[in-house]
């Protein structure tokens, strides 16, 4: 074995001794900027030694990989501080998440938000102390013995359940503190210069409500204080724009324990929901879709055929068969064979649409057949993941399924991609990003079928000159999908639309069409939703706009504000004229000061505030104030209505 290695750094090939540390190879890069390295595309500690030829790249603090390393190391720093401050607390897992990290603890007493300043102060002391972070590798048996002696039962369980006996276990040490971890980490705690603990929450061990409740602490970290401050400003803005808060203030929706996770849309919220659905309906007419309505409740045998019983039944609301006359009539069987009895509320529309397809004999001339539906869908989401309109148990989708021939697939995808761009540009999202979600571990069909389907989706995006990323193992269980993301005004990315290719459901339901040759052939099925869950989309839109919706979508477009009792009749008459012109208008003729009325209208995000006093009543004019901060202007009623007509409408 040669004592020398060939190493490529930034395209330059050099020879180094075997066992050289990665940090030495990257000499010349300021240490404050360098937190880790990529060796043959794998991120590793700077202290790792090179044992074979390699390509080495620096991982800088402000790069995406560098931020992950910093946040992971900060999670360890937090765990170290917690165990120093609260002896007897056990540690469990502390992963990096989008924009931050969390760590789940098993303390003697659950943590509260009041504990965070104390923990953060200790973290700053530990960071300043510049503890070296070292990786140690031991056998599985040694690791179990070490953590068992420390009283860390969760770490022992993680090792026993997840690490094979033959595998080496890595432990990271900071001073006299240690943790089970794959790494990588920064070289020492002084690299952790900008962090903030954000919140606390309860979390079940392994996410299972039957296990112990743990204390989760969320935090974030950045490469610099400036980047951290900018992020904290966005978080504060996000709090002011929280759709749950604005939903109450704007009187859009509410939740009640009588129906957990299911939103009650109030009149104004219902306007937003219906306007969005009507907009999509107009697009359907342009793109050649037919709307259908299918049942809410189906026999479980259908879900067995579709694969939902095997892959999704834990997320379904199930019911016994009321016509059974034995002791089973009042029981729900959730076993693998339980599909033979009972009913389920549909969690998605696709199985029902296969019945619409096969209700008639289909010819190749009938394809593509595009079926759309807006009826409610129910999913038995765990209570711990419910979050306003973002995660609900009852939702509406702008759901559609396209049954087409193999040679029509790329054209259908191109049409849906065009629709995505139409919708999101019309709704004020300037950038749309695409990902290809590939075969998950739990799936229908063969790997060969999946790879062929994935390549078709990739080709459809290439044909439309769409750059995309791969999202590995995130496809639906029945087929790969294109995921569409939009960044909002708060720099957060939301996954909204999906377009999925499916060979499995047509096969399972025995769907056919008569080809031009006269032979019976199998159609391909495309699942697509442009807004996705409309409830979730409304939450994204409210937070993106801060509740200042486009004029056409605002639930109350105009509010007429009277200055005194003398002009009440004119205010009411004016409101009626605006309504007759086709706009949503209300009048505020209460005996309150104008400033109070304006503030209430602004809180309700009303785009047009029309002020009328005695002069306006005498001249048959109005004084217009706009929510977006434009100065007041005097207008005739006709000019006011003409101005509203010129407000932009979606494509």
pLDDT per position as a tens digit, 71-98: 999 999 999 999 999 999 999 999 999 8
pLDDT (0 to 100) of residue 495: 87
Do 341 and 356 belong together in one domain?
no
Catalytic residue among 231, 243, 481, 625: 481
579 contacts 591 by C-beta, under 8 angstroms: no
601 contacts 588 by C-beta, under 8 angstroms: yes
* 327 burial level (CB within 10 Å; 0-12, 13-18, 19+): exposed
CA dist 210 and 204 (Å) reads 8
pLDDT (0 to 100) of residue 10: 80
pLDDT (0 to 100) of residue 372: 97
Domain that holds residue 160: 65-240
pLDDT band at 299 (very low <50, low <70, confident <90, very high): very high
Q: pLDDT per residue over 606-624, tens digit each?
A: 999 999 999 999 999 999 9
Q: Rank 343-352, 383-392, 474-483 by mean pLDDT and report only the highest.
A: 343-352
Of the three residues 345, 364, 385, the one that is the final residue of a domain is: 345
478 contacts 308 by C-beta, under 8 angstroms: no
89 contacts 108 by C-beta, under 8 angstroms: yes
Do 270 and 417 belong together in one domain?
yes
Do 338 and 357 belong together in one domain?
no
If residue 415 lies in a helix (H) or strand (E), which one and from where to where?
helix 409-426
Does 551 reside within a domain?
Answer: no
Do 302 and 275 belong together in one domain?
no
Do 375 and 414 belong together in one domain?
yes
Do 450 and 494 belong together in one domain?
yes
Please list, in sequence order, all residues whose beta carbon lies within 8 angstroms of the beta carbon of residue 98, skipping any fewer than 6 positions away.
Answer: none
What value, to the nearest 5°, has the Cα angle with vertex 593 and ends 592 and 598? 100
CA dist 71 and 63 (Å) reads 12
Is 593 a residue of the active site? no
Q: Where is pLDDT greater, at 650 or 292?
A: 292
Do 163 and 176 belong together in one domain?
yes
Examine the pLDDT at 398 and tell me if it is beyond 80.
yes
Of 195-204, 273-282, 450-459, least confident by mean pLDDT is 450-459
The Cβ-side half-sphere exposure at 498, using a 13 Å CA radius, reads 23
Q: What global pTM score does this model have? A: 0.83
The closest of 459, 468, 461, 368 to 418, measured between CA atoms, is 461
Task: Return the residue matching tokens 């159609």.
Answer: 523
Do 371 and 508 belong together in one domain?
yes
CA dist 315 and 304 (Å) reads 14
Count of domains in the chain? 5
pLDDT (0 to 100) of residue 325: 72
Catalytic residue among 350, 370, 443, 500: 350
What's the distance, CA 266 to chain centroid? 25
Do 375 and 385 belong together in one domain?
yes
pLDDT (0 to 100) of residue 453: 87
400 contacts 370 by C-beta, under 8 angstroms: yes
If residue 460 lies in a helix (H) or strand (E), which one and from where to where?
helix 447-463
Is 481 a residue of the active site? yes
Q: Where is pLDDT greater, at 31 or 262?
A: 262
Q: What is the largest CA-CA distance in the chain?
A: 100
Q: How many residues does the chain have?
A: 651
Does 223 reside within a domain?
Answer: yes
Cis peptide before 184 (omega within 30 of 0): yes
Does 553 reside within a domain?
Answer: no
* 288 burial level (CB within 10 Å; 0-12, 13-18, 19+): exposed
- The arithmetic mean of pLDDT across residues 188-210, rounded, is 93
Is 397 a residue of the active site? yes
pLDDT (0 to 100) of residue 365: 96
What's the distance, CA 438 to chain centroid? 17
Catalytic residue among 346, 527, 528, 605: 527
CA dist 519 and 491 (Å) reads 53
276 three-state secondary structure: helix
396 contacts 377 by C-beta, under 8 angstroms: yes
We report the CATH number of the domain holding residue 590 as 3.40.50.800
Of 1-5, 289-293, 335-339, least confident by mean pLDDT is 1-5
The Cβ-side half-sphere exposure at 617, using a 13 Å CA radius, reads 17
487 contacts 443 by C-beta, under 8 angstroms: no
The closest of 538, 540, 554 to 628, measured between CA atoms, is 554
Catalytic residue among 268, 353, 362, 379: 379
Catalytic residue among 115, 399, 488, 502: 399
pLDDT (0 to 100) of residue 563: 95
- The arithmetic mean of pLDDT across residues 184-188, rounded, is 95
Is 350 a residue of the active site? yes
Neighbours of 154 (CB within 10 A): 20
Do 124 and 235 belong together in one domain?
yes
Catalytic residue among 193, 401, 508, 559: 401
The Cβ-side half-sphere exposure at 490, using a 13 Å CA radius, reads 22
pLDDT (0 to 100) of residue 305: 95
Q: Where is pLDDT greater, at 394 or 413?
A: 394
Tokens of 504: 């499995």
Does 522 reside within a domain?
Answer: yes
Catalytic residue among 57, 83, 90, 397: 397
If residue 462 lies in a helix (H) or strand (E), which one and from where to where?
helix 447-463
Do 496 and 562 belong together in one domain?
no
* 360 burial level (CB within 10 Å; 0-12, 13-18, 19+): exposed
Dihedral, 358, 363, 368, 374 alpha carbons, nearest 10 = -20
Examine the pLDDT at 439 and tell me if it is beyond 70.
yes
- The arithmetic mean of pLDDT across residues 532-546, rounded, is 94
pLDDT band at 1 (very low <50, low <70, confident <90, very high): low
Q: Characterize the bridge pairing of strands 558-562 and 608-612.
A: parallel
pLDDT (0 to 100) of residue 68: 96
Examine the pLDDT at 327 and tell me if it is beyond 80.
no
438 contacts 453 by C-beta, under 8 angstroms: no
Examine the pLDDT at 183 and tell me if it is beyond 70.
yes
Dihedral, 118, 119, 125, 126 alpha carbons, nearest 10 = 160
Examine the pLDDT at 332 and tell me if it is beyond 70.
yes
End-to-end CA distance of the chain: 68
Q: pLDDT per residue over 90-137, tens digit each?
A: 999 999 998 999 999 999 999 999 999 999 999 999 999 999 999 999
Is 131 a residue of the active site? no
**Strands, sheet with 318-319, edge to edge from the N-terminal-most edge strand:** 297-299, 343-345, 318-319
- The arithmetic mean of pLDDT across residues 165-176, rounded, is 93
Helix axes 409-426, 447-463, angle to 10 degrees: 60
Helix axes 568-580, 637-645, angle to 10 degrees: 40
CA dist 494 and 196 (Å) reads 24
Of the three residues 310, 345, 380, the one that is the final residue of a domain is: 345
Does 592 reside within a domain?
Answer: yes
What value, to the nearest 5°, has the Cα angle with vertex 102 and ends 96 and 104? 125
Of the three residues 483, 518, 545, the one that is the final residue of a domain is: 545
We report the CATH number of the domain holding residue 223 as 3.30.980.10
- The arithmetic mean of pLDDT across residues 205-226, rounded, is 93
483 three-state secondary structure: strand
Of 241-255, 425-439, 552-566, least confident by mean pLDDT is 425-439
The Cβ-side half-sphere exposure at 103, using a 13 Å CA radius, reads 29
Tell me the average pLDDT of the chain: 93
Do 85 and 166 belong together in one domain?
yes
Does 50 reside within a domain?
Answer: yes
Is 443 a residue of the active site? no
Is 231 a residue of the active site? no
The closest of 432, 426, 417, 497 to 275, measured between CA atoms, is 426
Does 317 reside within a domain?
Answer: yes
Does 357 reside within a domain?
Answer: yes
């Amino acid at each position: 074995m040669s004592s020398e290695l060939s190493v490529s750094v930034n395209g330059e090939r050099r020879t180094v001794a075997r066992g050289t540390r990665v940090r030495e190879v990257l000499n010349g890069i300021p240490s404050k900027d360098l937190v880790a390295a990529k060796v043959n595309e794998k991120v590793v500690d700077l202290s790792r030694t090179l044992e074979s030829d390699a390509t080495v790249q620096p991982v800088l603090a402000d790069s995406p990989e560098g931020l992950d390393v910093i946040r992971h190391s900060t999670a360890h720093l937090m765990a170290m501080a917690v165990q120093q401050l609260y002896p007897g607390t056990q540690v469990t897992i502390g992963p990096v998440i989008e924009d931050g990290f969390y760590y789940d603890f098993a303390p003697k007493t659950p943590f509260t938000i009041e504990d965070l300043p104390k923990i953060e102060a200790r973290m700053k002391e530990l960071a300043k102390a510049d503890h070296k972070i070292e990786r140690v590798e031991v056998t599985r048996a040694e690791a179990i013995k070490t953590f068992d002696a420390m009283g860390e039962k969760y770490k022992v369980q993680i090792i026993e359940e997840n690490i094979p006996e033959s595998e080496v276990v890595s432990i990271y040490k900071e001073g006299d503190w240690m943790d089970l971890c794959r790494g990588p980490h920064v070289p020492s705690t002084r690299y952790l210069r900008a962090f903030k603990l954000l919140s606390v929450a309860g979390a079940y061990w392994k996410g299972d409500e039957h296990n112990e409740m743990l204390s989760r602490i969320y935090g974030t970290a950045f490469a610099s204080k400036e980047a951290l401050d900018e992020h904290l400003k966005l978080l504060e803005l996000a709090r002011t724009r929280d759709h749950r808060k604005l939903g109450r203030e704007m009187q859009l929706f509410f939740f009640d324990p009588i129906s957990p996770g299911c939103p009650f849309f109030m009149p104004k919220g219902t306007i937003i929901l219906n306007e969005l659905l009507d907009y999509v309906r107009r697009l359907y007419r342009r793109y050649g879709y037919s709307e259908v309505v299918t049942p809410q409740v189906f026999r479980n045998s259908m879900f067995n055929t579709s694969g939902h019983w095997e892959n999704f039944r834990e997320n379904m609301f199930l019911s016994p068969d009321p016509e059974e006359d034995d002791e089973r009539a009042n029981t729900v069987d959730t076993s693998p064979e339980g599909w033979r009895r009972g009913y389920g509320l549909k969690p998605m529309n696709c199985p029902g649409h296969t019945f619409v397809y096969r209700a008639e004999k289909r010819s190749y001339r009938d394809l593509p057949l595009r079926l759309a539906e807006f009826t409610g869908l129910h999913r038995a989401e765990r209570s711990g993941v419910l979050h306003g309109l973002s995660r609900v148990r009852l939702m509406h989708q702008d759901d559609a399924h396209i049954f087409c021939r193999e040679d029509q697939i790329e054209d259908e995808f191109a049409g849906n991609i065009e629709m995505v761009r139409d919708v999101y540009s019309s709704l004020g999202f300037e950038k749309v990003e695409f990902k290809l979600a590939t075969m998950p571990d739990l799936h229908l069909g063969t790997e060969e079928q999946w790879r062929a389907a994935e390549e078709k989706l990739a080709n459809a995006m290439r044909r439309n000159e769409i750059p995309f990323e791969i999202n590995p193992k995130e496809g639906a269980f029945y087929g790969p999908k294109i995921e569409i993301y939009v960044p909002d005004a708060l720099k957060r990315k939301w996954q909204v639309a999906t377009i999925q290719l499916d060979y499995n459901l047509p096969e399972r339901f025995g769907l056919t069409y008569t080809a031009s040759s006269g032979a019976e052939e199998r159609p391909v099925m495309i699942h697509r939703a442009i807004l996705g869950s409309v409830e979730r989309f409304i939450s994204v839109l409210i937070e993106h706009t801060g509740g200042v919706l486009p004029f056409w979508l605002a639930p109350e477009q105009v509010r007429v504000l009277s200055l005194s009792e003398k002009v009440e009749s004119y205010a009411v008459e004016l409101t009626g004229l605006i309504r007759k012109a086709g706009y949503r208008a209300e009048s505020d003729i209460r005996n309150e000061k104008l400033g109070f009325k304006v503030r209430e209208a602004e809180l309700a995000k009303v785009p047009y505030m029309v002020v009328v006093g005695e002069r306006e009543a005498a001249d048959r004019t109005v004084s217009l104030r706009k929510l977006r901060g434009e100065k007041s202007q005097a207008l005739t009623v006709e000019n006011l209505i003409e101005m509203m007509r010129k407000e932009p409408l979606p494509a």
